[in-house]
Amino acid sequence: MRLATIGRMFSYRHAFHAGNHADVLKHTVLIATLQHLLQKDAALTVLDTHAGAGLYRLDGDYASTSAESADGILRLVPPAAPAALAPALQDYVDMVRAFNQGEATRVYPGSPFIAQRLLRAQDRLKLFELHPTDARALAGNVAQLDAGRQVAVLAQDGFEGARQFLPPPSRRALVLCDPSYEIKSDYARVQDMLQDALKRFATGVYAVWYPIIPRPEAHELPRRLKTLAQKAGKSWLHATLTVKSGKTAPAGTAPGRRPGLPASGMFLINPPFTLDAALRAALPQMAELLAQDRHAAWTLEGGAP
């Protein structure tokens, strides 16, 4: 692998984007999915292929630099919160608030800590993070949980590492895959990983987050995943959230500053049957409350085997 590629691989830090509109979508879906899967007594294994640091300070240097949480989670919590939220969106807000004291929302839990908070004693959580700084931060944050053997932090490539845990001993698993996609090859690696995972463990639940940006690979990914699910005879669900136009920067954006992510999607294979209804109630509220211009919208489609 060339040095330039390695440099790009390690340039992305989720701390800059913690609590933004993409996190609202991703973590609302994650919580609703886990809540359904955890209704069965049998143990569940959760694999997070790109775990990040796990916990983020919204008033820290990274998050405050981009301030993306101001147009994400902070629009959904007091005093900005509306009177009533859809159940799935309210569960997400309640989860974030559980990591904070008082009225201010200063701490944002990433996927690892959201999952760990929901899991039971018999469940297992495998966290992969290749970025050296984030891997150290993740290990330090997890150490404070006193979770014992329930949570494992692995400083390795999640695309490859997840394979060793499929199928899990309990034959029940959720795989969350949300790479940065800064490297174009990530799009193909997502597809390759899911294709391999379905061969190893056809009944697992697979959740993929991706950015909706002006790049051919980004538009092709959900189509390819839909074809993959259909060929495998699996049900699928595809949700998208758009908060603004991706063509122009919003008014007030500083010259030279990147306009930011306009939209993102979640694609699930073998989704819980309850997730469609949960998102049909939550997505319209997300689009309304997180809108940055008149182009805000949402979509939800799915298919059965």
> Which tens digits make up the pLDDT trace of 248-277?
554 555 444 457 899 999 999 999 999 999
The pLDDT, as a whole number, for residue 256 is 46
Per the annotation, does 102 bind a ligand?
Answer: no
Contacts of 209 (CB under 8 A, 6+ apart): 22, 25, 26, 176, 177, 178, 264, 265, 266
Domain ranges of the chain: 3-250+258-303
Average pLDDT, rounded, for the chain? 91
Q: Which of 89-98, 215-224, 244-253, 260-269 is predicted least confidently?
A: 244-253
Q: Which of 3-7, 216-220, 246-250, 277-281 is predicted least confidently?
A: 3-7
- Alpha-carbon span 164 to 162, nearest angstrom: 6
Mean pLDDT of 69-73: 95
Per the annotation, does 204 bind a ligand?
Answer: no
Position 25 pLDDT exceeds 60? yes
The pLDDT, as a whole number, for residue 3 is 35
Per the annotation, does 235 bind a ligand?
Answer: no
Is 178 part of the annotated catalytic residue set?
Answer: yes
Is pLDDT larger for residue 122 or for residue 12?
122
Q: 59, 178, 196, 276: which one is catalytic?
A: 178
| Predicted structure pTM score | 0.92
- How large a percentage of the chain has pLDDT more than 70? 89
Is pLDDT larger for residue 79 or for residue 53?
53
Mean pLDDT of 121-126: 97
The pLDDT, as a whole number, for residue 6 is 38
Mean pLDDT of 214-240: 97
3-state class (DSSP) for residue 197: helix
The pLDDT, as a whole number, for residue 62 is 56
Mean pLDDT of 68-74: 94
Per the annotation, does 68 bind a ligand?
Answer: no
236-242 and 263-269 beta bridge pairing: antiparallel
DSSP one-letter code for 69: G
Position 78 pLDDT exceeds 50? yes
The pLDDT, as a whole number, for residue 43 is 98
The pLDDT, as a whole number, for residue 66 is 59
Residue 198 near residue 234, CB atoms below 8 Å: yes
For the domain spanning 3-250+258-303, the CATH number is: 3.40.50.150
Place of tokens 């992305």: 12
Position 26 pLDDT exceeds 80? yes
Mean pLDDT of 51-79: 84
pLDDT confidence tier of residue 110, bands split at 50, 70 and 90: very high
Per the annotation, does 238 bind a ligand?
Answer: no
Q: Which of 186, 176, 232 is closest to 208 using CA atoms?
A: 176
Is pLDDT larger for residue 17 or for residue 187?
187
pLDDT confidence tier of residue 74, bands split at 50, 70 and 90: very high
pLDDT confidence tier of residue 64, bands split at 50, 70 and 90: low
Position 285 pLDDT exceeds 80? yes
Q: Which of 16, 92, 110, 97 is closest to 289 using CA atoms?
A: 92
The pLDDT, as a whole number, for residue 65 is 54
Position 70 pLDDT exceeds 60? yes
Mean pLDDT of 167-193: 96
Per the annotation, does 148 bind a ligand?
Answer: no
Per the annotation, does 17 bind a ligand?
Answer: no
